[in-house]
Each structure stands twice: as C-alpha cells, then as structure tokens.
Amino acid sequence: MTLITLVRHGQTDWNLARRIQGSTDIPLNETGRGDALAAAALLRSETHHVMYASPLIRAHETARIIASELGLADPMITHGMREREFGEGEGLLVQEYLERFTDWHGAPSGAETLDTVRDRALTALETISRESRRRSAPAAESVIVVTHGGVIRALLNHASGGTLPREGDVLRNGSAYRFELAPGLLRLLEPVSI
C-alpha cells in the first residue's frame, strides 16, 4: 500500500484570469508561491518520504518549494501526471471554452479525453508505488505528487465512483487530497481538500 497526497500546483496568472492552461507551460505567480508555502505548512503534520511532480513548470516549482520546506529531496518528474491537453481549447478563457465546447467533456481538436487523463494518471501512480517499494521504503510509503486540477478531478471522479468532485466544486490552487493506492485500487481517504 502507498499513501498518495495529490497537491494542485500554486496559482498562475492564467489561473487568475480563468484561462485554460492545459499543457501550456505557465509559471507560478507570487500568489502561487504563497500557495506552495501554505500547502507545505499543512503537509508538515504528516510524514512524507518522497515527492514527484508533473514536468510543467507550475507544478515542478510548487513541488520544489514544498520539498524544501519539508526537508525532502528534489521532486522526481512524472510525465503521466501532467495536465490534460486541451488542444485548440488552450489559451481560451473558461467562458469562451464553455461557449465553444459546451462542457468539460467536450473534445476540442487535439484534446485528451478525461478517460485518457485518468488512465495515464493511474498508470503513473502505479509506477510511483512500485518505485517506492523497490527502494525498501517503509511499509506505508507516503508520497506527495504535485499535479494539476484536471488530473486531480479525473482521479477523484474515479475513486469516488463518479460522485466527486460535485458540479461547481473548485479545486483550489495548493489544495491537497489523500488516497491509498494498492494494486488495482485507488481509495480516497480524505474527500475534502487540506
């Protein structure tokens, strides 16, 4: 069993403007760096052994800040936890996106489906868990993975059997979600963000 804490990256200027980022590599703003520090302060009450991050700069910088605050080694990169590719939807304001594609399940040209995002994220988490066990870590290895709102939404939906997140739920920048990962199982431990 591996304990996984998923953390949404800190705020970027595009988050602030409500612009679709997807795979566009947008850096944190000053508020985002504060989000990372706040997440680290909340995560400090638990023991964590290792950190991973999406390769996108907003997630990787968030992870580096958290790792530094918690005294962990630099985060390792996991490409499977990168944000959903929105294709021609990237760069649009949320309102423009919804007007053009109706809802978040719409598939702009070049976009990944939510099922694709879920599947690649689950594969990435299973790889992280296997790597943790190979390192002869404690029996209940605790891993922090800094990722993106779309990835966390897909995994919350999967682990909750489609009940979370609810329509209109906002996954705040810097929020965290705890899961238990075992072969063939992803179980949500704390349905409310930290």
Q: Which residues are known to be catalytic?
A: 9, 83
Contact of 18 with 156, CB cutoff 8 Å: no
Identify the sign of the CA torsion 163, 169, 142, 128. Answer: positive
Q: Could you tell me the CA-to-CA distances from 183 to 20, 118, 138 in Å, in that order?
A: 33, 16, 17
Closest to 77 measured CA to CA, from 136, 126, 151, 147: 147
Alpha helix locations (H) across the chain? 13-17, 30-43, 57-70, 94-101, 114-134, 149-159
**Spatial separation of the C-alpha atoms in residues 193 and 148, rounded to whole Å:** 14
Rounded to 5 degrees, what angle do the CA atoms 36, 39, 42 make? 155
